[in-house]
Amino acid sequence: MAVSDQFVSVIAPLHNDADIVDAFTKEMLDVLKANYSNYELVLVDDGSSDTTVMHVNALLSQHECIRFVRLSRSYGEEIAVSAGLDSVIGDFVAIVTPNSDPPGLIPEMIEVARSGYDMVFGIENTRARPGLLERLGSAAFYGYCSRILKLKFPRGATQLRVLTRQAVNALTQIRDRHRYLRYTSHYVGFVSKSFSYDTINRRNQIRKPGFLEAANLAINVIISSSKHPFRIVTWFGILASALNLLYVGYIILIYILKDDVAEGWTTISMQQAIMFFFVFIILAIVSEYVGHILDESRDRPLYYVLDEKTSSVMIVDEQRRNVVRDSMRGKLGFQPAKRPDQALIAGDDVKETVAARETPTDRAGDS
């Protein structure tokens, strides 16, 4: 297969992956080297508490074209991927989960993207049969999102995806703290295509989110993507008010038509129970939105970078360079480059800014 001239970036979020990072990195670099003349592997550590950082530091001295971004603490996989998107420089950007995504699929997915798609996202062919509670929760979530909220959530979609530079530039403009890449990738509206594949398992134990974690993610996705729950609260309030008005009319009629009105605790208790039910439902939904509004209103960076390192050689073809204004090192919150043709090139302690993809013709014309 001919080596492509496209610049390819691969983002791999890491969290306590010391047992698999060596094998994954070697396999990924072998695939990139065999198919592309210019590439980079961006490893983003999401606050690992094991020896992942030590393993990556060793890899930096052994291999070329690796960049390592270490976040100050664990922000979650979505934020870790966002940190990678903020710093990649490739024409095409792949997002890979080290434990489950085969590196050998990247060239094929990039070819699909080159045929006219801005986003190519992975769909898992075979999934382990979930438990009853998980199946019911999944059916409710996907049904509510697709039929009520009109949100596109392909079933079986994984984190594996390939994005064009245009799609990456669009995604980096979304600075929501509660984010879900599998939704925001479709939200930006670019042309997308699914890519079915079989996942792998680099470790014996498969990491799966628990029910509470999945439920929390579902609530965050719904609330950050739609105001429909607020509309439900509105209708609950209107219904509760209407019931109260009907009950007031009932009391008035009884008072007028009956001479002897017996006091009844059942009716009063029933009314109070129904009203308090509506009140607590309304408070629960409103509190979720208020919490999200509070998070989004805080003027804080999405993440903090503790350290950033690179291999000794950043780009194989040194005559072709993508550059950015500055590195993420020392910044509290990295901001993406203003122009798509800006990116990062750095040695261990050297940073250089040059014209993006400057050709001999361009240099001759300047002179």
**Mean pLDDT over residues 11-28, rounded?**
95
pLDDT at residue 88 greater than cutoff 50: yes
The secondary structure element, H or E, covering residue 134 is helix 132-143
Task: Give the separation between CA 127 and CA 275, rounded to whole angstroms.
Answer: 44
Q: For position 360, what pLDDT does the model report?
A: 42
Task: Give the separation between CA 335 and CA 345, rounded to whole angstroms.
Answer: 16
Mean pLDDT over each residue of the chain, to the nearest integer: 77
Q: How confident is the model at residue 144 (pLDDT cuts 50, 70, 90)?
A: confident
CA 146 to chain centre: 19
**Mean pLDDT over residues 92-108, rounded?**
95
Tokens 């079986």 identify what position? Answer: 156
pLDDT at residue 45 greater than cutoff 90: yes
pLDDT at residue 101 greater than cutoff 50: yes
> What share of the chain in percent tops pLDDT 70?
73
Task: Give the separation between CA 257 and CA 247, rounded to whole angstroms.
Answer: 15
Name, of 112-126, 251-265, 307-321, the range with top average pLDDT.
112-126
Q: For position 97, what pLDDT does the model report?
A: 94
The count of other CB atoms within 10 Å of the CB of residue 307 is 14
Q: For position 316, what pLDDT does the model report?
A: 54
Residue positions counted in the chain: 367
Question: In the chain, how many H helices and how many E strands?
Answer: 11, 8
Q: Kindly report the pTM of this predicted structure.
A: 0.68
Name, of 118-127, 131-140, 165-174, the range with top average pLDDT.
165-174
Task: Give the separation between CA 328 and CA 347, rounded to whole angstroms.
Answer: 14
Assigned CATH for 4-130+152-209+301-366: 3.90.550.10
More confident residue, 289 or 91: 91
Task: Give the separation between CA 106 and CA 41, rounded to whole angstroms.
Answer: 12
Q: Which residues of 131-149 are buried (b: 16+ CB within 10 A; e: fewer)?
A: eeeeeebeeebeebbeeeb
